[in-house]
């Protein structure tokens, strides 16, 4: 079976050494405690005349740094009892888009929330105070200091999004799924690793994993990191030291969900298969896991076929 990476027979057992820093848990535990102490100040503004068979809300909440993070929240029109909820995260450079993109989850019988990405292609701004320059895009901003890194507050946005959803009376707080593809898949894993309130997760072709291999192998946004390392070759190890705190190959060991449903494309040169298996194979043994393998697909993964399979899986595990 073809692959741009290792053969599938090798990928199945591929479990590279983690790069977890000694203060990794203390770092994230401290940040999660900080987040819990900061009010969400969530607002839900009803929007009519978009989907007549759904309730649609334009949502905003405070990030830990005061950035107002936007989102959409949808429920079926009539909710007689609390429903499972899906919290969805977005691919790199994208935004929350239009609310009808969540309609399949409402038709699946769930509430659904999509979180905008700070500073990227949506309606959410950002605040970033760094002591060193970066390269194009977002992934190198603050890369020399874990406390300045772009993804620090972005990862914390994900757990705050779950808290926002849990407060809604339409939502069964004990049945929450985190989902997303590419960057959204990375945020899915980070969210499940940092929030104790995520019940199941479904990351598709997830990004931000196994950084040392990704930077050597992948094309696309990872090349922002290689551009930085070309510009500052004397800071390569400093950059990798920061990235270790945000590497989902390390974070995934903290995941406490009951079930995980991954997907991977063996011809994916943006999130290479070995980097996907690099997190999948480090899931705790307590997690019931499954991965859909698409042998000749690239970064699109299983496309609409996989989305259909995922909707069915969500019904089975949360319905």
Which residues participate in catalysis according to the annotation?
182, 268, 299
Angle at 256 between CA 31 and CA 162, to 5 degrees: 55
Strand boundaries in the chain, DSSP class E? 43-47, 54-62, 68-76, 83-89, 111-115, 171-181, 200-204, 259-265, 288-294
Residue with token string 């809300």: 57
Residues in contact with 19: Cβ distance below 8 Å, sequence separation at least 6, in sequence order: 211, 212, 240, 244, 247, 249, 250
Rounded Cα–Cα distance for residues 204 and 293 (Å) = 11
Residue with token string 């900080």: 34
> Contact, 279 vs 248, CB < 8 A?
yes
> Contact, 22 vs 316, CB < 8 A?
no
> Contact, 108 vs 88, CB < 8 A?
no
Helices (H) and strands (E) in the chain, counts: 11, 9
> Contact, 262 vs 281, CB < 8 A?
no
Rounded Cα–Cα distance for residues 143 and 150 (Å) = 8
Output the CA–CA distances (angstroms, integers) from residue 187 to 48, 165, 234, 259, in the order listed: 30, 16, 30, 17
Instruction: Retrieve residue 187's tokens.
Output: 């945020």
């Amino acid at each position: 079976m073809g692959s741009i990476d290792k053969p599938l027979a090798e990928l199945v057992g591929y479990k590279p050494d983690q790069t977890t820093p000694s203060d990794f848990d203390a770092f994230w535990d401290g940040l999660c405690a900080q987040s819990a102490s900061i009010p969400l100040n969530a607002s839900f503004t009803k929007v009519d005349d978009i989907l007549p068979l759904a309730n649609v809300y334009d949502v905003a909440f405070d990030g830990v740094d005061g950035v107002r993070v936007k989102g959409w929240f949808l429920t079926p029109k009539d909710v007689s009892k609390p429903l499972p909820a899906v919290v969805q995260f977005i691919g790199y450079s994208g935004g929350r888009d239009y609310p009808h993109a969540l309609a399949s989850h409402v038709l699946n019988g769930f509430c659904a929330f999509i979180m905008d990405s700070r500073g990227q292609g949506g309606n959410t701004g950002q605040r970033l105070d760094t002591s060193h320059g970066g390269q194009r895009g977002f992934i190198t901003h603050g890369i020399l200091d874990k406390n300045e890194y772009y993804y620090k507050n972005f990862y914390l946005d994900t757990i705050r999004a779950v808290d926002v959803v849990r407060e809604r009376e339409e939502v069964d707080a004990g049945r929450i799924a985190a989902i997303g593809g590419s960057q959204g898949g990375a945020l899915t894993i980070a969210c499940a690793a940092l929030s104790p309130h995520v019940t199941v997760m479904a990351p598709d072709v997830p990004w931000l994993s196994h950084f040392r291999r990704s930077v050597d192998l992948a094309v696309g946004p990872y090349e922002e990191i290689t551009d930085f390392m070309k510009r500052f070759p004397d800071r390569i190890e400093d950059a990798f030291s920061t990235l270790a705190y945000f590497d989902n190959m390390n974070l995934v060991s903290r995941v406490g969900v009951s079930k995980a449903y991954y997907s991977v494309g063996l011809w994916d040169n943006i999130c290479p298969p070995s980097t996907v298996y690099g997190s999948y194979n480090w899931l705790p043994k307590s997690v019931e896991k499954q991965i859909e393998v698409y042998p000749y697909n690239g970064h699109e993964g299983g496309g609409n076929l996989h989305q259909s399979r995922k909707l069915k899986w969500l019904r089975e595990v949360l319905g």
